[in-house]
């Protein structure tokens, strides 16, 4: 159960509310985000709204029985819009495109990709400066130095930065240089990291876990939201199955299901989703048709020389064509009625 | 290794060829289909074409090291076209639509669905008369009686029949009434059934196994093909994973991968693929964008009263809209260049 | 709901019972096995036993809400004992050992293995004469000729035959030569085959599907049982997961779960369960400790020369040692109390 | 390739070695642990030992082509023994028992469990003070206060503490109170945490990821080892599959496979592995027979009142019986020869 409090709620009103809910046998967690103040009540019996509805300080009450409450569509019917400033948004009814290399490799590469994005009207650049690698002996990224270089050029070009944060201690140092913090598929259930990302005012893109369920993705988002940060984006990137012909199994079923359960925007990552360069475009366009609010993919001037993930990375010509096709496909989807 | 024989090859030429291949240490299987005569050689060393290339009776030789040979694109670059007659085809570069109820229930229902299909320009009707059910106490279909009724009305309307065959003994009795024999997901590796379907001259649609790999689907097709029947259609219908929010996990990655490996047409079943009526349309259109040559879905006048699978079945209005959107999406896909 | 009928029930009593159950809104299926006569009622409301309990012809009534009813422990508390004659049984509280080659290859091999089994007190021999192979070009077994040879020598040695039946048409020809019909992992949901096996009086060992759930295995057993054959054995043989270091993932959890849900005996196949010869023994002994009523494994005089599955087949020395360790481990398990 | 350096190696010898290996085209990572000094060479061509073997400072050279090198059995044939002091060890050829509640709940509960362990000769106590919870509204553990209380009583009783660390910042504060740091199944690929645990001198128990492969578990161990800490224990605790009848699928295949690939000890967690109290004992004993070096399970005086995981937690009587049966089963396993 979620009680959305009035903006002008007084402390004594809140205390009375909490006491009353406790009396009914519900445990209360107070959640303050940058946009509102909520009381989350958890209990085992059915909740009778009439028992608190008359108290002061309440804006609205919602019965939500899912394990994820604040990210549920059941109380917030209006979709969440993520506004990165400068006219760049990720939201329902629109098509965000995020593209860039797997790893940030050098200043030259940064400029190269930014040039490609600008030419194609893409306003968000993805790339890794801290790389999670299953082998300790592999390239682990350029780190803060790479991020600062990237920031300098991205800012000048009006491009927003989407990049992975791997641990709590990085949040502070990365904060000023990042527009969207990405939580990787291996960190989807790193609850301390999620807690800390709940305390900042930057957008957070959460990738579905390598074998995470749709419900677990929503619960991970609930962590960040209940920590205070409402600026969340969900990302389907393929799951682990027994199939070996592709790197992961892109689960596009997740897109309409997530959209029906949550008010948060959903993006699709076809590069990791299939892991084979020649088929990334088909999967991206399939993702558009499944109802995604955005596509995030990997691009590099010379994929075969990329430091990582080259086999699933598009070259500039492929990327330019794909961006155009994504937009056309999205325009057609928008024109379609749903019954 | 595949040796395609000349149409006018003599028996003595063939014997010489086989003897020569055996000498090289390869095991030979002769395959005669309605369209050609092949020698399949299986061996452990690399095959040196020059050692047989000069012999008589050879049309063409292809080195194919996959476990599936005859269905591989490596020797047959031209895509297979399945022609059901009356202008109804399933083929690369086209968009076949197959729709109908999960179960054939009554003459009234047959006429009802046929009417709906005709109105919407759909020429192939799916439906089950023998139903595989995990519980022995559930409805098992109308059987041959239902099929004969269906055939009578479908024929009159110029509609082709796609229906599941569950066992060898049914093939003969069903044969004259069926245009496309469907092999269900639980029978994908029923090798005796596949063997027998190799001996007939009707098209066969093979569904991917409930947890079958892409390679196993191709090997199952190889069974039918090597039995003598080249009229094969592959079908992605979702696989079993740990995810519980959908009935199956529709694996659209399989579409471009199958299309790149085989010359056979590939269709997508979004109804079983997601199992939730409200999202079937999105998954169908995603399937179109993934590169499918056709879509097969479930439709019923009153899905909530359907004998089976109602929760994933579209009503007539939804189906009419979807058929139109499938065609528009396909037209757009066709207009797209690929790099 | 299951109504077990009295042995001397009259037709009119049965009709009255069926009519009454129909009145209550339940669908009735009558099941006659070699051991009893049952009415299975399926309905959506809770069943009130008092509404039929007074009628004549009833031996006992059991409320069973699972999808599998006749194989459930809820109505039949006493475990099923499979008696193959000659003192060979498979039953709860005992430890059956079945061993033999993957494929029956020759008379010499048959004699060889029988000799090994006799020396080690093993009374059941497994082996394939019809082999399901994913490639149509692979060795498919010696067929009926091999079975007849095998039967002749097995009978003389007092050894029971466990072998796979792949299709309905084989049942009749194999019938007289087989003690236990095995349903392979690719046929667990071949419902026609299960139906037909319900009509015979030989024991049936059903392997869990390659990605079958525990519940599906029980439902497949229900098919055979409701067809009339109560002589059933369930077999855990590993499931398909994402893990690639072993051939399958042996799911020993399934053993106590199956034993708690059903009155049927459960055996474990460690050879397919792990697929690596060096570790078959550990998995067999783990299977014993998990509560299995039997172990079925592959053995061959010279595994590296076996026609199939050599990499998971024990040699005679390994097999002799394992049989002894299985018995010792089982004896210890039997001595353990459970809380 | 691993070069184990002599203890007395000089800096200039090391520099020469590194230069030489670089010349050959290999990348070198130097690894210093508390027990030795190694050079790890990674390259794409085959390594010719003769090209460096004559240089000074080398103790030994091993060709290891796996992605995990230092944890591989290929260079270190002797199994690793983890010595926690006071006569408590985890090692090959022995049977460690670790038991305790899911969550540390109160001082009373700590004393209660310690009493139970002492009575049954169990020297290691597991328990969580920081709890990873998928819902942000669930109980998250007593934290450092709970740990300090626990430490005080465990020390007095001669009991070793096994507890989960969730993030880098906790390592330092927990360090003095912990004997074995546990890395949970959601953190198996939290590479920053693994890096930091490489810098300490306490033992680390790494659980297999929720859907982690055997190879990924070894690579995670490689992270810690290459960070400098050789005191590692691997733990099989069940993986995520499609099966819903158990909480996880305990993969006992992993035990002999891990033991054959690595010199590290392997323990099995049957509580999470099956998730059903009544079957934990069978799975524990199966784990012993699979070759495990230890069993870790959950116990509580009153499982139904436990704060978490009650459904898979044994009571004291069950635990006492299990500990005895584990020892007897292990004694029998030890008496068995392997062929």
Residue D181's pLDDT band (cuts 50, 70, 90): very high
Q: What is the pLDDT of residue D44?
A: 75
Residue A12's pLDDT band (cuts 50, 70, 90): very high
| Interchain proximity B253–A241, CB inside 8 Å | no
Chains that touch A (3 or more CB pairs under 8 A): B, C, D
- Tens of pLDDT, residue by residue over D192-203, are 999 999 999 999
Instruction: Using alpha carbons, select from C238, A198, B150 the residue that is nearest to residue D253.
Output: C238
| Interchain proximity A333–B285, CB inside 8 Å | yes
Mean pLDDT of chain A: 94
Q: What is the pLDDT of residue D283?
A: 98
Of the candidates D67, D137, D195, the beta carbon closest to that of A29 is on D137
Q: How far is D281 from chain A (nearest CA, A)?
A: 28
| Interchain proximity D192–A223, CB inside 8 Å | no
Instruction: Using alpha carbons, select from C282, C259, C90 the residue that is nearest to residue C182.
Output: C90
| Interchain proximity C244–A244, CB inside 8 Å | yes
Is residue D146 within 8 A of residue D162, CB to CB? The reply is no
Q: Which residue of D has its CA nearest to C286?
A: D286
Query: What SS3 state is found at A130?
Result: coil
Q: For the residues of C175-210, what is the DSSP string, one character each? A: HTT-SEEEEPTTSTT-HHHHHHHTTSSSEEEEEPPT
**CB-CB neighbors (< 8 A) of C141 in chain B:** none
**CB-CB neighbors (< 8 A) of B244 in chain D:** 244
Give chain A's contact residues with D (Cβ, < 8 Å). Answer: 27, 29, 40, 42, 67-68, 132-137, 166-169, 186-187, 189-193, 195, 209-211, 216, 219-220, 222-223, 226-227, 240
Q: Alpha-carbon torsion C152, C153, C159, C164, what sign?
A: negative
Of the candidates A42, A134, A216, the beta carbon closest to that of D137 is on A42
Q: How far is A155 from chain B (nearest CA, A)?
A: 31
Is residue A150 within 8 A of residue A137, CB to CB? The reply is no
- Tens of pLDDT, residue by residue over B308-321, are 889 999 999 999 99
Q: Average pLDDT for residues B44-61, to the nearest whole number?
A: 84
Is residue B37 within 8 A of residue B58, CB to CB? The reply is no
Of the candidates A251, A274, A281, the beta carbon closest to that of B338 is on A281
Q: Which residues of D178-207 are buried (b: 16+ CB within 10 A; e: fewer)?
A: bbbbbbbbbbbbbbbbbbbbbebebbbbbb
| Interchain proximity A133–D191, CB inside 8 Å | yes
Q: Which residue of A has its CA nearest to D189?
A: A186
Token representation of residue D110: 């700590």
- Distance, CA of C22 to CA of C42 (rounded, Å): 10
- Distance, CA of C42 to CA of B237 (rounded, Å): 30
Residue A225's pLDDT band (cuts 50, 70, 90): very high
Instruction: Using alpha carbons, select from B240, B234, B275, B278 the residue that is nearest to residue B257.
Output: B234
**DSSP character for D153?**
H
Q: Which residue of D has its CA nearest to C211?
A: D242
Q: What is the pLDDT of residue C200?
A: 96
Query: What SS3 state is found at B159?
Result: coil
- Distance, CA of C34 to CA of C224 (rounded, Å): 12
Measured CA angle at B85 (ends B113, B198), to 5 deg:
100
For chain B, how big is the Rg over CA atoms in Å? 21
**CB-CB neighbors (< 8 A) of D134 in chain A:** 67, 189, 216, 219-220
Of the candidates A211, A240, A242, the beta carbon closest to that of C240 is on A242
Which residue ranges form the domains of chain A, and what is each CATH number? 2-62 (3.30.70), 82-335 (3.20.20.70)
Q: What is the pLDDT of residue B139?
A: 81
Is residue D128 within 8 A of residue D120, CB to CB? The reply is no
Q: Is the pLDDT of residue A35 over 90?
A: no
Maximum distance among all Cα pairs of chain B, rounded to whole angstroms: 66
Phi, psi for B95 (deg, rounded to 5): -130, 100
Q: What is the dihedral of CA C64, C70, C76, C78, to 10 degrees?
A: -150
* Region of poorest pLDDT, from B165-169, B270-274, D45-49: D45-49
Q: Is the pLDDT of residue D1 over 80?
A: yes
Q: Which residues, 6 or more positions from B270, have their beta carbon under 8 angstroms from its beta carbon?
A: B250, B280, B281, B283, B284, B286, B287, B295, B297
> What is this model's ipTM?
0.92
Residue with tokens 């995030």: A296
Q: Alpha-carbon torsion C209, C215, C218, C222, what sign?
A: negative
Between the alpha carbon of residue C270 and those of residues A123, B293, C280, D254, D280, the distances in Å are: 56, 42, 6, 13, 20
B–C interface: beta-carbon pairs under 8 A: 85
- Distance, CA of A314 to CA of A320 (rounded, Å): 9
Q: How far is B291 from chain A (nearest CA, A)?
A: 7
- Tens of pLDDT, residue by residue over D211-259, are 999 999 999 999 999 999 999 999 999 999 999 999 999 999 999 999 9
Q: Average pLDDT for residues D40-46, to the nearest whole number?
A: 81
| Interchain proximity D67–A134, CB inside 8 Å | yes
Chains that touch B (3 or more CB pairs under 8 A): A, C, D
Q: Which residues, 6 or more positions from A197, have their beta carbon under 8 angstroms from its beta carbon?
A: A165, A171, A181, A183, A204, A224, A227, A229
Chains that touch C (3 or more CB pairs under 8 A): A, B, D
Is residue C71 within 8 A of residue C34, CB to CB? The reply is no
**DSSP character for B308?**
S
Mean pLDDT of chain B: 94
Helix axes A254-261, B277-290, angle to 10 degrees: 140
Among B211, B239, B242, B244, pick the best mutation site for testing chain D contact (most D Cβ within 10 A). Answer: B242
Q: How far is D51 from chain C (nearest CA, A)?
A: 34
Task: Answer with the residue of higher pLDDT: B22 or D327.
Answer: D327
Is residue C96 within 8 A of residue C267, CB to CB? The reply is yes
Is residue D241 within 8 A of residue C241, CB to CB? The reply is yes
- Distance, CA of A130 to CA of A104 (rounded, Å): 9
Residue A54's Cβ-count burial label (10 Å; 0-12, 13-18, 19+) is: exposed
Instruction: Using alpha carbons, select from C183, C180, C88 the residue that is nearest to residue C132.
Output: C183
Q: Is the pLDDT of residue B250 over 90?
A: yes
Is residue C238 within 8 A of residue C42, CB to CB? The reply is no
**CB-CB neighbors (< 8 A) of A240 in chain C:** 242
Q: Which residues, 6 or more positions from D123, have their beta carbon under 8 angstroms from its beta carbon?
A: D86, D87, D88, D97, D117, D158, D159, D160
Residue C55's Cα: distance from chain center in Å? Answer: 36
Quote the pTM value: 0.92
Measured CA angle at D145 (ends D140, D150), to 5 deg:
100
Of the candidates B211, B240, B242, the beta carbon closest to that of D240 is on B242
Q: Is the pLDDT of residue D170 over 80?
A: yes
- Distance, CA of B157 to CA of B86 (rounded, Å): 11
Q: Which residues of chain C have pLDDT under 50?
A: none
Q: Is the pLDDT of residue D62 over 90?
A: no
Instruction: Using alpha carbons, select from B62, B86, B180 the residue that is nearest to residue B128.
Output: B180
| Interchain proximity C283–D257, CB inside 8 Å | no
Q: For the residues of A283-311, what is the DSSP string, one character each? A: HHHHHHHHT-SEEEEEB-SSGGG-SS-GG
**CB-CB neighbors (< 8 A) of C244 in chain A:** 244
Of the candidates D245, D286, D317, the beta carbon closest to that of C289 is on D286
Q: What is the pLDDT of residue B204?
A: 98
Helix axes D143-157, D107-119, angle to 10 degrees: 30
Q: How far is B125 from chain A (nearest CA, A)?
A: 22
Q: Is the pLDDT of residue D339 over 80?
A: no
Q: Which residues, 6 or more positions from A191, have their beta carbon under 8 angstroms from its beta carbon?
A: A223, D132, D133, D136, D166, D186
Token representation of residue C271: 């050879």
Instruction: Using alpha carbons, select from C191, C88, C199, C184 the residue that is nearest to residue C129.
Output: C184
Residue A221's pLDDT band (cuts 50, 70, 90): very high
Of the candidates D245, D249, D252, the beta carbon closest to that of C215 is on D245
**CB-CB neighbors (< 8 A) of D191 in chain A:** 132-133, 136, 166, 186
**CB-CB neighbors (< 8 A) of A251 in chain C:** none
Q: Which residue of D has its CA nearest to B242?
A: D242
- Distance, CA of B97 to CA of B328 (rounded, Å): 13
- Distance, CA of C275 to CA of C260 (rounded, Å): 27
| Interchain proximity B213–A329, CB inside 8 Å | no
């Amino acid at each position: 159960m979620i009680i959305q409090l009035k903006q002008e709620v007084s402390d004594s009103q809140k205390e009375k509310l909490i006491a009353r809910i406790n009396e009914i046998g519900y445990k209360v967690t107070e959640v303050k985000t940058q946009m509102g103040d909520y009381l989350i009540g958890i209990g085992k019996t059915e909740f009778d709204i009439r028992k608190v509805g008359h108290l002061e300080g309440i804006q609205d009450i919602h019965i939500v029985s899912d394990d994820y409450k604040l990210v549920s569509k059941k109380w917030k019917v209006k979709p969440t819009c993520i506004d990165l400033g400068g006219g760049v948004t990720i939201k329902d009814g629109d098509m965000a495109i995020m593209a860039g290399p797997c790893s940030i490799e050098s200043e030259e590469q940064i400029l190269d990709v930014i040039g490609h994005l600008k030419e194609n009207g893409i306003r968000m650049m993805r790339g890794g400066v801290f790389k999670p690698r299953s082998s300790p002996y592999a390239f682990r990224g350029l780190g803060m130095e790479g991020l600062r270089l990237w920031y300098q050029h991205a800012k000048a070009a009006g491009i927003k930065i989407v990049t992975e944060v791997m641990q709590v201690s990085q949040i502070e140092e990365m904060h000023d240089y990042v527009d969207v913090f990405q939580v990787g598929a291996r960190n989807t259930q790193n609850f301390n990291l999620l807690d800390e990302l709940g305390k900042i005012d930057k957008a957070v893109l959460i990738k579905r876990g390598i074998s995470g369920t749709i419900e677990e993705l929503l619960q991970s988002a609930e962590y960040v939201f209940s920590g205070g940060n409402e600026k969340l984006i969900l990302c389907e990137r393929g799951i682990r199955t027994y199939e070996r012909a592709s790197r992961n199994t892109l689960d596009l079923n997740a897109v309409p299901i997530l959209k029906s359960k949550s008010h948060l925007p959903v993006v699709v990552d076809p590069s990791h989703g299939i892991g084979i360069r020649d088929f990334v475009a088909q999967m991206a366009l399939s993702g558009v048709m499944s109802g995604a609010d955005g596509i995030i993919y990997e691009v590099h001037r010379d994929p075969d020389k990329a430091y990582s993930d080259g086999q699933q990375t598009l070259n500039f010509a492929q990327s330019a064509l794909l961006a155009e096709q994504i937009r056309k496909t999205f325009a057609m989807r928008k024109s379609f009625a749903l019954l």
